Amino acid sequence: MSNAAIIENPILRGFHPDPSWTWHNGRAWLATSSFGLVPGLPIHTSTDLVHWQPAAPAIDENMGAKLFLKYIHDDTRGVFAPSIRSIGGALVIVSTVVSIEVDRALADGCDPDELRAMREANGNFALVSHDDGRTWEGPHWVSGAVGNDPDLFVDADGTAWWLAAHQSYNQRWPYQSDVYLRRLDMDSWTLSGPEHVLWHGALEGAVWAESPHLFRHDGMYYLLAAEAGTSRLHAQSVARSSTLTEYFEGNPANPILTHRNLGSRYPVQNIGHCDVLRDDHGRWWGVCLGSRLVEGLSFMGREPFIFPVAWEDGWPVFAPGTGLVPRFVDAHTGRAAVVEPDDRTDTGTDGAISRIPVDQLLRSPRQPGWLWTKVDHTDFAVFAGRARELRIQQTESDYAALTIDPISREAQAIVVSHGTAETVWSGEYSDDIEYSIRLNGSILEFRAESPERQGADDHPAADSTTLTVRTGEVPITGTAAGGYPIPAASSPAAPPTSTLLASRSAAFLSTEEAGGYLGCLAGALR
C-alpha cells in the first residue's frame, strides 16, 4: 500500500491539544490550543489529510498583547480550546482567554476599556480572516458570553449561534455542566435572547461536559461534547434533535469514542475532544486529542488524531469496526490500514539532529528571554549551545535545567519538582564540552558531548538564535490493538562521544505527576 495515501496518527507530534477543523477552499484547516505561548493558535492545512503544512498562526506577538497573555495567572491558563469555522468565505476562530491578572495589567498601563470588554465577555473572543488565514482581525470580545470551549454555528437560514459550556447553575452532582446556545450578532459580536440549555452530557453524574460542537446532517442537528475531563476518563458523546433550541437526546451507544476501557498501560490515552468535517468527496472525518504514553506516563502532551466517521440509523459511528482510533488510516477508503514494517511512515529517525529555525520557535510572555520548541519524540535531546540555561519543562514549577556560568566556570544540573529544586550534578564548565538534556523514554539524562561529534558547520552553538535538538524513538517492546507501538522505558543506546553526567526518573516531568495541560517544552535562555 502506498504511504502517499496513508494517514499516520498522531498527525502532528508534540503539544497540539484541543483540535478543531473545518473544510474551506478545498482543504482542511486545523487549529489547536496554545495557552500562553506565542505564536499561538497554530493552524495547519491539508488537501488529503495525510500531508499537513503549517499556515500563519492566528496569534502573533501583537495579537498576544491584545489578548493580555502576559498577564495570565500561570502557564496552564491563557487561550483555551478554539473552534475554527468557514463562514461566508471567511475563516472564523472563537476561543477563550482564561484567568487574567487584571490588576497587574492595569498597573502596567493596559487599556482599561479593552480590559473591561474582555471581562464582560469572560475572556470569550472571535478572530476573523478574509484572506485564507494570512491575517486575522480582532479580538472581537463577545459581550455576555460565559463559560469556555465555544463553537460558532450558522443555521441554514443564516442565523448565527454561540455554543459553549459552563458549570450548571443548579448542580445535581459536582461539576455538572450545561452546554448552552445563544443567538449571536456577528456584526457587533453580542449575544441576545435566552440561554437554551441543550445538554448536560451523556451519563448521569457526567462531569465537565465541554468542547461542544454543533452540525447538521440529513435535516437533524447533532451536538458533540466531551466528558470526564481531559485525562484517563476522557470520552466523546453525541446527541441529536430535530429542533435547534430544544433539549437534545443522547445516543444510546454513548460514549461513541474513548480509550478509557483499554487499561492504563494502553499506549494512547485521553481520547476525546472531537470535531468532524465533511470533505469535497462527501466523506466524513473526525479529529480528536490523545496522548502517547511511555511506561504509563505522557510527556509529549495532547496531540491530534484522525479517524473515519460512518453513519448508521441516523447516528455517527466513530472509528467504525474497532471503536479505537487507529494508528494508520487509508485516506481514500476511510478504513483503518495495516502498514508493513518496511512501509512504516515513522517520522522519527534515531539520532537525527536538527536546528529549529527561529521563526518556528515559541515564546512565553510569562518567561521573557526564553525560546521554546515542543518535545515531540520519545527520545528527545536539546543542546545548550551558547545558552545560559537549558530546560526541558512541563510547567514553570516542574522542569529539568542545566545552568552555565562562564564567569565562575561552573555548570549545574538541577531538577525542580512542584517548585522544589535539587542539584543532581555540578562541575567545571568547559568551552570544549557540549551540554545537553535528554528525555529518554521515561528516563531523564544530563549529558556532556564533544563538539567533534558533528561537523564544524553543524555545530549547535553556531547560531545562538536557534535551538538544536536530536530526536529518535526508544525501542519498541510490542504492538497494541490499533497498531500503536509500545515503547520501552528507555533506550540503552547513547552517542559514542557522549558522557552521562546524571540521570533519574523523568516521572516528575509527566503530565500525570506535574499536572498542567501543555506537555514538555525544550528551551534555552540566551
Please indicate whether residue 18 is annotated as part of the active site: yes
Q: Which residue segments constitute the domains of the chain, with CATH numbers given?
A: 22-260 (2.115.10.20), 352-525 (2.60.120)
pLDDT under 50 in the chain at which residues?
A: 1, 342-349, 453-462
Question: Could you say which of 8, 18, 178, 434 is catalytic?
Answer: 18
C-alpha distances in Å from residue 522, one per residue of 412, 445, 467, 468, 519: 17, 14, 9, 10, 10
Sheet holding 53-55, edge to edge: 20-24, 27-31, 43-46, 53-55
Query: What's residue 454's pLDDT?
Result: 46
d(CA 170, CA 478): 48
CB distance 257 to 323 below 8 Å: yes
Q: If you ran DSSP here, which 8-state letter would residue 59 be given? A: B
Tens of pLDDT, residue by residue over 227-250, are: 998 889 999 999 999 999 998 999
pLDDT tens-digit profile of 170-208? 899 898 999 999 999 999 999 999 999 999 999 888 888
Spatial separation of the C-alpha atoms in residues 68 and 303, rounded to whole Å? 26
DSSP letters along 241-273, please? Answer: ESSTTSPPEEPTT--SEESGGG-TTSSEEEEEE
Kindly state the cell numbers that stand for 371.
525560546
The pTM score is 0.94
* pLDDT of amino acid 466: 83
Pairwise CA distance, residues 294 & 292, whole Å = 7
pLDDT of residue 407: 86
Alpha carbons 423 and 436: distance in angstroms, whole number: 16
Q: Is 193 left (phi over 0), alpha (psi -120 to 50) or beta?
A: left
Is 185 in the active site?
no
Query: The cell 510572555 sits on which residue?
Result: 365
Q: Which candidate in 8, 210, 303, 445 is catalytic? A: 210
